[in-house]
């Protein structure tokens, strides 16, 4: 139910009782009229009074709906006027012309009948406005196809004899006006069904069917009059009170909400069936006589069906374009995404090889994760969107901006690296911001096309590497300063650890990249790998350098070094996330590690990576309690312990990174 709407109340008991009584009366009237049942002294009332009573009862129920319910009040008021003017025409005919042998035609009652159609049209249109949220042209055409096809069928069945006996002048105009007005009524009803996708609420269903009965009854009556087959006991006399009772039934239906637009098979199937009906009528006309009106309506239905097919094509093309645009667009910043960048970069590389140089710049925000942690993801998203707008403006005249995900951005400039310096500086400035408690800037890597790379893959890889070189060279960064300070402490306290943590950092970087890590997430893993043993500066030398295995008490002290390491790193806000990885770097995949006994994916991915890299490098070193292993032997040991001590996924990624040359620079002593 739309906001602000008041649901239709359940049918009150008096309305239900009156509707039931009217239904019984209609049944009695139909039985008397069609079967000639003798009701004795009630025959006179059944023949005349009951018909009028049914009309007045319908007016009362529809009028009560308009008076007591705010929703669609204007529409139901017009439908009440429709019933009232129709009933006035019927009463006038009954009182003045029913007993006349040859009543004049047209007469004043015809004016009321004709005017009643106007009230019906207006009421239907208002009901449509209140029920259909979106007036799509395609759905209008669906309903129009149905209305025209149904009108063509009725016209084909009845209009020929009616037109042939209509006379001349005002008599002909009045005679032919009724079927034309009924065709318009049919079209409006079918448009209503079409606009609902052929799935409408009970009110419109009952109302629409009732008005279809009116149109069919009128057409049949006019046909019977034209061929001289009409009699007082004709079935057409039942259609009018039945239709009025249908309107009354529609008025007391409960409606809780608007009907949704249909999107099932009916949206296609029903109009298609009506179009086939129209086509069948036109084919029939090739061998049989078909009234001009029927042929025209059938032709109009096919034209509407053709227009519907064209609109469907337009909607499908628009939907396809929208889907493609969404597939290539980052939803948050509305910049091109990684897929769009790769496609554009491949084109740029091809053009660069042909003599049109270009420049790719890869950016990674520094300080964004700390901003996200401090201010929340909502504020982080708002910051990314704001920076993206600035980046777009900075390079609009020279290229395109992209967001690859997280805090990674790219710029593709349509000029060589030698002429792109100003735009690179402007882009970096656009991705910088600062305020109380935060400072954001961007590290970046620049790749010239084609001098630095001749494939999109190589260009992206090289830009990523150069961005990390730039990030590592930023000595003024709080994180870098804190990291360098702590590494110097390790070097002074335990020189041997300096080499070990450097090797572990290098291996962790290669493994993390193999697992798809990038940006600040990758940087945090590398920093944590380099600082994972910082807590050992608090471990007594006698324990740290004990030649044999540690006893239980000594192990208890040693196992606290990750907790101490986290405390040390947490003192620097820029390294708090790094400290969390250090704390978990000695957890085991099966839950048997320390200090928290975490297991599986409850251990951060960075910590699982550090555990594998740390163990591998340790196995390559000579230890008092174990000889050094070769790389193949150490890899075999990692695989043996995958699933227990180590994450199998990380072990597989580590092995792939080693096969790709990650261990070439290891310093084995």
Per-residue pLDDT of 117-139, as tens digits, reads 889 888 887 887 766 655 566 66
Given a cut of 90, whether residue 533 has pLDDT beyond it is no
Q: Distance from first CA to last CA of the chain, Å, rounded?
A: 75
105 against 163, higher pLDDT: 105
Query: Could you tell me if 95 and 185 lie in one domain?
Result: no
DSSP 336-349: B-HHHHHHHHHHHH
Residues of the chain with pLDDT > 90, as a percent, come to 24
Q: CA-CA distance, 496 to 151, in Å (whole number)?
A: 95
pLDDT score recorded for residue 1: 37
Q: Is 332 inside a domain boundary?
A: no
At 212, give phi and psi (nearest 5°).
-65, -40
Given a cut of 50, whether residue 96 has pLDDT beyond it is yes
CA dihedral 240, 131, 201, 273 (to 10 degrees): 80
- The answer to whether 247 and 207 have CB atoms below 8 angstroms apart is yes
How many folded domains does the chain comprise?
Answer: 4
427 against 29, higher pLDDT: 427
Given a cut of 70, whether residue 437 has pLDDT beyond it is yes
Query: Could you tell me if 606 and 499 lie in one domain?
Result: yes
Domain boundary among 327, 349, 369: 327
pLDDT score recorded for residue 611: 94
377-414 pLDDT, tens digit each? 889 999 999 999 999 999 999 999 999 988 899 999 99
Query: Could you tell me if 102 and 235 lie in one domain?
Result: yes
Q: What share of the chain is helix, strand, coil (3-state, %, to 5)?
A: 70, 5, 25
Q: CA-CA distance, 272 to 338, in Å (whole number)?
A: 43
Cβ neighbours, 10 Å, residue 207:
26
Burial 512-550 (b: 16+ CB within 10 A, else e): bbbbebbbbbbbbbbbbbbbbbbbbbbbeeebbeeeeee
**Given pLDDT bands bounded at 50, 70 and 90, which one contains residue 483?**
low
Domain boundary among 447, 473, 499: 473
The DSSP bridge partners found for residue 435 are 438
Query: Could you tell me if 485 and 466 lie in one domain?
Result: no
**Given pLDDT bands bounded at 50, 70 and 90, which one contains residue 508?**
very high
pLDDT score recorded for residue 585: 92
Query: Could you tell me if 289 and 389 lie in one domain?
Result: no
Q: CA-CA distance, 579 to 562, in Å (whole number)?
A: 9
Nearest C-alpha neighbor of 219 from the set 298, 285, 143, 163: 163
106 against 616, higher pLDDT: 616
234-257 pLDDT, tens digit each? 888 888 889 889 888 888 876 555
Query: Could you tell me if 171 and 312 lie in one domain?
Result: yes
pLDDT score recorded for residue 3: 39
Q: Pick from 121-135, 194-208, 306-320, 415-429 the range whose average pLDDT is largest.
A: 415-429
Tokens coding 16: 């239900």
Q: Is 667 inside a domain boundary?
A: no
Q: CA-CA distance, 476 to 151, in Å (whole number)?
A: 82
**Given pLDDT bands bounded at 50, 70 and 90, which one contains residue 143?**
low
Q: Is 510 inside a domain boundary?
A: yes
Q: Is 669 inside a domain boundary?
A: no
Query: Could you tell me if 205 and 194 lie in one domain?
Result: no
The DSSP bridge partners found for residue 359 are 413, 448
pLDDT score recorded for residue 208: 80
211 against 663, higher pLDDT: 211
Query: Could you tell me if 374 and 449 lie in one domain?
Result: yes
- The answer to whether 175 and 143 have CB atoms below 8 angstroms apart is no
pLDDT score recorded for residue 46: 65
Average confidence (pLDDT) over 20-27: 87
Average confidence (pLDDT) over 159-170: 56
pLDDT score recorded for residue 130: 66
The DSSP bridge partners found for residue 449 are 358
Q: Is 664 inside a domain boundary?
A: no
Average confidence (pLDDT) over 494-508: 76
Nearest C-alpha neighbor of 383 from the set 327, 441, 423: 441
Query: Could you tell me if 509 and 592 lie in one domain?
Result: yes
Query: Could you tell me if 6 and 120 lie in one domain?
Result: yes
Q: Is 344 inside a domain boundary?
A: yes
Q: Is 668 inside a domain boundary?
A: no
Q: Is 430 inside a domain boundary?
A: yes
Query: Could you tell me if 302 and 385 lie in one domain?
Result: no
Residues of the chain with pLDDT > 70, as a percent, come to 77
Tokens coding 213: 């009965």
- The answer to whether 76 and 67 have CB atoms below 8 angstroms apart is no
**Given pLDDT bands bounded at 50, 70 and 90, which one contains residue 530?**
confident
Return the CATH number at 446. 3.30.70.270
Return the CATH number at 565. 1.10.3210.10
At 646, give phi and psi (nearest 5°).
-120, 155
100 burial via Cβ count (<10 Å: 0-12, 13-18, 19+): exposed
Query: Could you tell me if 520 and 621 lie in one domain?
Result: yes
271 against 355, higher pLDDT: 355
296 burial via Cβ count (<10 Å: 0-12, 13-18, 19+): middle
Nearest C-alpha neighbor of 214 from the set 174, 253, 185, 190: 185
Average confidence (pLDDT) over 135-145: 64
Average confidence (pLDDT) over 621-629: 75
| Sheet strand arrangement including 408-413 | 399-405, 408-413, 358-366, 438-449, 433-435
pLDDT score recorded for residue 536: 78
336 burial via Cβ count (<10 Å: 0-12, 13-18, 19+): buried
453 against 3, higher pLDDT: 453
pLDDT score recorded for residue 654: 94
- The answer to whether 611 and 579 have CB atoms below 8 angstroms apart is no
302-353 pLDDT, tens digit each? 887 777 777 777 777 776 776 676 678 898 999 999 999 999 999 999 999 8
Parent domain of 546: 478-659
The DSSP bridge partners found for residue 399 are 413
**Given pLDDT bands bounded at 50, 70 and 90, which one contains residue 488?**
low
Nearest C-alpha neighbor of 175 from the set 189, 164, 188, 191: 164
Given a cut of 50, whether residue 509 has pLDDT beyond it is yes
Domain boundary among 308, 327, 346: 327
pLDDT score recorded for residue 85: 93
């Amino acid at each position: 139910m739309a906001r602000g709407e008041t649901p239709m109340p359940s049918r009150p008991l008096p309305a239900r009782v009156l509707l039931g009584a009217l239904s019984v009366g209609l049944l009695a009237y139909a039985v008397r009229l069609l079967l000639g049942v003798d009701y004795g002294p009630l025959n006179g009332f059944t023949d005349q009074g009951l018909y009028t009573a049914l009309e007045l009862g319908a007016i009362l129920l529809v009028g009560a709906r308009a008076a007591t319910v705010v929703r669609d009040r204007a529409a139901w008021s017009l439908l009440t006027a429709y019933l009232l003017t129709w009933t006035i025409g019927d009463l006038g005919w009954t009182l003045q012309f029913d007993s006349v042998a040859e009543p004049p035609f047209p007469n004043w009652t015809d004016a009321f009948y004709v005017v009643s159609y106007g009230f019906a049209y207006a009421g239907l249109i208002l009901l449509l406005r209140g029920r259909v949220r979106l007036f799509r042209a395609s759905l209008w055409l669906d309903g129009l196809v149905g209305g025209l096809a149904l009108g063509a069928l009725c016209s084909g069945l009845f209009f020929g004899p009616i037109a042939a006996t209509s006379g001349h002048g005002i008599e002909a105009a009045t005679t032919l006006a009724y079927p034309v007005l009924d065709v318009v009524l049919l079209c409006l009803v079918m448009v209503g069904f079409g606009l609902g996708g052929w799935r409408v609420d009970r009110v419109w269903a009952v109302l629409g069917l009732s008005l279809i009965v009116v149109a069919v009854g009128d057409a049949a009556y006019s046909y019977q009059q034209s061929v001289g087959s009409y009699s007082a006991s004709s079935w057409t006399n039942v259609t009018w009170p039945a239709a009025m009772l249908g309107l009354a039934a529609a008025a007391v239906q409960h409606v809780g909400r608007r009907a949704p637009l249909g999107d099932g098979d009916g949206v296609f199937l029903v109009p298609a069936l009506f179009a086939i009906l129209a086509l069948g009528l036109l084919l029939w006309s090739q061998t049989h006589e078909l009234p001009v009106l029927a042929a025209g309506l059938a032709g109009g239905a096919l034209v509407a069906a053709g227009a519907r097919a064209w609109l469907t094509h337009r909607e499908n093309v628009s939907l396809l374009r929208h889907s493609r645009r969404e597939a290539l667009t980052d939803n948050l910043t509305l910049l091109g995404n990684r897929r769009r960048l790769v496609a554009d970069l491949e084109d740029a590389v091809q053009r660069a090889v042909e003599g049109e140089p270009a420049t790719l710049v890869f950016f990674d925000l520094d300080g964004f994760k700390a901003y996200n942690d401090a201010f929340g993801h909502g504020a982080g998203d708002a910051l990314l969107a704001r920076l993206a707008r600035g980046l777009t403006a900075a390079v609009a005249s020279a290229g395109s901006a992209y967001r690859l995900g997280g805090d990674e951005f790219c710029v593709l400039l349509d000029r060589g690296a030698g002429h792109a310096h100003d735009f690179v500086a402007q882009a970096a400035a656009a991705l910088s911001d600062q305020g109380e408690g935060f400072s954001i800037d961007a590290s970046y890597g620049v790749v010239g096309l084609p001098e630095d790379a001749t494939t999109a893959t190589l260009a992206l890889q090289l830009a990523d590497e150069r961005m990390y070189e730039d990030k590592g060279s930023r000595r003024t960064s709080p994180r870098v300063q804190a990291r360098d300070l702590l590494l110097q402490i390790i070097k002074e306290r335990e020189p041997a650890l300096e080499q070990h943590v450097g090797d572990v950092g290098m291996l962790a970087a290669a493994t993390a990249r193999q697992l798809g890590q990038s940006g600040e997430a990758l940087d945090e893993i590398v920093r944590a790998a380099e600082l994972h043993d910082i807590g050992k500066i608090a471990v007594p030398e006698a324990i740290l350098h004990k030649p044999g295995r540690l006893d239980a008490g000594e192990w208890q002290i040693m196992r606290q070094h990750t907790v101490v390491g986290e405390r040390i790193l947490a003192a620097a806000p820029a390294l708090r996330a790094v400290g969390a990885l250090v704390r978990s770097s000695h957890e085991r995949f099966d839950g048997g590690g320390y200090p928290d006994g975490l297991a599986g994916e409850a251990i951060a991915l960075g910590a699982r990576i550090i555990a594998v890299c740390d163990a591998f490098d340790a196995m390559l070193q000579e230890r008092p309690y174990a000889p050094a292993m070769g790389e193949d032997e150490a890899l075999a040991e990692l695989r043996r312990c995958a699933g227990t001590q180590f994450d199998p996924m990380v072990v597989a990624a580590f092995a792939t990174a080693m096969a790709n040359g990650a261990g070439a620079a290891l310093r084995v002593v």
